[in-house]
């Protein structure tokens, strides 16, 4: 469902007055409230879990000889604003695919204390550890002595919608969750308890399904001997 279709469906489910919205651009009156409630619902859903799979993406980039730090755009992420956080246990490095290995992560305080000290400051070689500095740059040690490929995953910042044709970032079968959550906001505004209860029931069912589909799989460990 597009942003406009979500607003139109909320307008229908809520029985709002006036004609069906035809655009989300510069809305007024009831349509403006519907647009605001849909966007609020979309934010609430994305913030429900930090580990949503639909907010995870891959990155890959080549290091540059003698360059130690890489900002998000230098790491192959289109815009810095797209980066929520690096997934630190996913970062790998190789010079050729057959020698790929996971890189060790150290906190920024530890990195400063141990790897930005004395001769370690200028040590070059194949990186073995990395850290994330306060500006979210990925920083390597030793300083790369050539071209290596770094890859991994990161969590994106919550998405937003602005244009009529924009769509939610998660799978289409869960788009109605936005409508039901927006209807809950509407019902709270109107103090419509029956509407709220119906919307909450539908919302909870869809969110349960989305959590099953869009959260990392849980595996039981082996039994203790």
Q: 79 exposed, middle or buried (CB, 10 Å; 0-12, 13-18, 19+)? A: exposed
Same structural domain, 174 and 115: no
pLDDT of residue 167: 97
In the predicted model, what is the mean pLDDT of the chain?
93
Report the pLDDT averaged over residues 16-31.
Answer: 92
C-alpha to C-alpha distance for 197 and 184, rounded to whole angstroms: 8
- Please write the tens of the pLDDT for every residue from 146-167: 999 999 999 999 999 999 999 9
- Please write the tens of the pLDDT for every residue from 109-140: 999 999 999 999 999 999 999 999 999 999 99
C-alpha to C-alpha distance for 167 and 145, rounded to whole angstroms: 44
This prediction's pTM: 0.84
Report the pLDDT averaged over residues 17-44.
Answer: 94
DSSP string covering 59-126, please? EEEE--TT--EE-TGGGT-S-GGGEEEE-GGG-EEESSGGG-EEPEE--HHHHHHHHSSGGGGG-EES
- The residues, ordered by sequence, that sit 6+ positions from 176 with a Cβ below 8 Å of its Cβ are 1, 9, 202, 206
Residue 105 belongs to domain spanning: 57-156
pLDDT of residue 73: 83
Q: Is the dihedral of CA 87, 50, 85, 57 positive or negative?
A: positive
Residue 175 placed within a domain: yes
pLDDT of residue 87: 94
pLDDT of residue 164: 98
Residue 161 placed within a domain: no
Q: What angle do CA 213, 215, 219 make, to 5 degrees?
A: 100
Residue 52 placed within a domain: no
For the chain, what is the domain count?
2
pLDDT of residue 82: 83
* Whether residue 142 has a cis bond before it, omega within 30° of 0: yes
pLDDT at 219 over 70: no
pLDDT of residue 110: 96
Residue 96 placed within a domain: yes
Residue 217 placed within a domain: no
Residue 68 placed within a domain: yes
Q: Among residues 63, 50, 56, which one has the least CA distance to residue 92? A: 63
Residue 219 placed within a domain: no
Run of H or E residues at 13: helix 3-14
Same structural domain, 176 and 96: no
- Please write the tens of the pLDDT for every residue from 50-78: 899 999 999 999 999 999 999 988 777 76
Same structural domain, 71 and 106: yes
Same structural domain, 62 and 150: yes
Residue 21 placed within a domain: yes
pLDDT at 220 over 70: no
- Please write the tens of the pLDDT for every residue from 187-207: 999 999 999 999 999 999 999
- Residue 18's pLDDT band (boundaries 50, 70, 90)? confident
């Amino acid at each position: 469902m597009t942003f406009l279709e979500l607003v139109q469906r909320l307008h229908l489910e809520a029985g709002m007055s006036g004609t069906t919205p035809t655009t989300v651009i510069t809305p007024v009156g009831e349509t403006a409230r519907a647009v605001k409630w849909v966007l609020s619902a979309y934010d609430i859903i994305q913030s429900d879990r930090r580990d949503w799979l639909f907010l995870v993406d891959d990155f890959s980039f080549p290091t540059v000889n003698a360059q130690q730090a890489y900002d998000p755009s230098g790491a192959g992420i289109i815009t810095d604003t797209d980066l929520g956080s690096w997934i630190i246990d996913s970062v790998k490095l190789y010079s050729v695919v057959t020698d790929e290995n996971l890189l060790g992560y150290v906190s920024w305080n530890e990195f400063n204390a141990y790897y930005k000290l004395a001769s370690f400051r200028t040590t070059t070689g194949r990186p073995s550890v990395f850290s994330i500095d306060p500006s979210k740059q990925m920083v390597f040690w030793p300083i790369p002595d050539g071209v290596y490929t770094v890859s991994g995953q990161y969590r994106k910042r919550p998405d937003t919608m602005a244009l009529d044709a924009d769509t939610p970032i998660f799978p289409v079968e869960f788009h109605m969750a936005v409508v039901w959550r927006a209807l809950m906001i509407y019902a709270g505004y109107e103090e419509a308890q029956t509407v709220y209860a119906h919307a909450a029931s539908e919302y909870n069912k869809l969110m349960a399904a989305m959590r099953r589909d869009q959260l990392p799989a849980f595996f039981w460990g082996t039994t203790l001997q």
